[in-house]
Amino acid sequence: QVQLVESGGGLVQPGGSLRLSCAASGSFFSINDMGWYRQTPGKERELVAAITNGGNTNYADSVKGRFTISRDNAKNTVYLQMNSLKPEDTAVYYCYARRDFVRYWGKGTLVTVSS
């Protein structure tokens, strides 16, 4: 079983920065991919960023150039560095981890970008 613990959400001003962290724990051999989704009421859940265990990354067009995803394989932790935040980035951010055919989810952390 894999549990995901997220941290780093909160309230920030437009143009500010925030770093989200998600640590995987439990009994497992390895994790393949990790990443972040976000969701705002009334909108589809959006894949924000993903990273493979080999370090390949993918980003939503809306966050390219502003967000950076990284991972520490030794700690089974994925990070999302968010810079130049905009009000439209406001959402609940969900961490995920994939191991083989199973997808695990965090409980979500709220990011609010407002002045």
Is residue 56 scored above 80 in pLDDT? yes
Residue 41's pLDDT band, with cuts at 50, 70 and 90, is confident
- Read off the tokens for 111: 């990011």
Average pLDDT of every residue of the chain: 94
Backbone phi and psi for residue 44, each to the nearest 5 degrees, phi listed first: -70, 150
Distance, CA of 85 to CA of 38 (rounded, Å): 14
User: Looking at residue 26, what is its pLDDT?
Assistant: 84
Neighbour-count burial for 5-17, b at 16+ CB within 10 Å, e otherwise:
ebebbeebeeeee
Query: Which residue did the predictor score with more confidence, 43 or 15?
Result: 15
User: Looking at residue 68, what is its pLDDT?
Assistant: 98
For residues 1, 70, 55, 23, the Cα torsion angle rounded to the nearest 10 degrees is: -10
User: Looking at residue 109, what is its pLDDT?
Assistant: 97
**Mean pLDDT value across residues 55-72:** 97
